Every structure is written in C-alpha cells, then in structure tokens.
C-alpha cells in the first residue's frame, strides 16, 4: 500500500474527503516526526510506540576493500508494535 492508497482507505473508513484524509495523514506523520526529532516518544495504545534509539560507535568493514572503518554513533527511529497490532498480524 502506498500513500495514495492509504489516503483513500482513510477517506473510506472515516467519511472524510481524500483531501481531508491526506491533510490528517500528513499532520500525523509531521507530529510524530517532530516529537522524534526532539527525542520524545509517541505511544498509540494498541498500535505501537515510536521512539528514538541510540546506536553507539562501532568498527565496520568496507565491503569492497575489506578496510576497517569507524562508524559514528547516531540516533535512529524505532517502532515497537503494540499487543493489538501483534495479535492482528498473527491471526
């Protein structure tokens, strides 16, 4: 499912127009992105939690040359599914 298909599905299930559904989806994604950018987490009960995870620096390997390279520490977004979502996926 791509973004336009998701917008159409939201419109169908909510009774909103496609334009309203796209604004709602963009608003939700924007709000989640903003909170993650601040280092905060976003919990949607039953669906899951979006948060930021810290990856420490580590030693890597250049696959072409085999040369050792240092990979810098960084923050990465993470999603942990909620119980309801896990149940639906496993049915």
Q: Do 32 and 22 contact (CB within 8 A), yes or no?
A: no
For domain 3-90, the CATH class is few secondary structures
Q: Where are the alpha helices (DSSP H) in the chain?
A: 3-14, 18-37, 83-90
How confident is the prediction along the chain (91 residues), in pLDDT tens digits per residue? 999 999 999 999 999 999 999 999 999 999 999 999 999 999 999 999 999 999 999 999 999 999 999 999 999 999 999 999 999 999 9
Domain ranges of the chain: 3-90
Q: pTM for the complete prediction?
A: 0.81
């Amino acid at each position: 499912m791509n973004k336009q298909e998701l917008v159409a599905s939201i419109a169908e299930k909510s009774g909103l127009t496609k334009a309203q559904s796209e604004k709602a989806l963009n608003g939700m994604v924007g709000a989640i992105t903003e909170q993650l950018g601040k280092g905060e987490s976003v919990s949607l009960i039953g669906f899951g939690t979006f948060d930021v995870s810290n990856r420490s620096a580590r030693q890597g390997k250049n696959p072409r040359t085999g040369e050792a390279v240092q990979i810098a520490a960084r923050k990465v977004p993470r999603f942990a599914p909620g119980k309801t979502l896990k149940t639906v996926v496993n049915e």
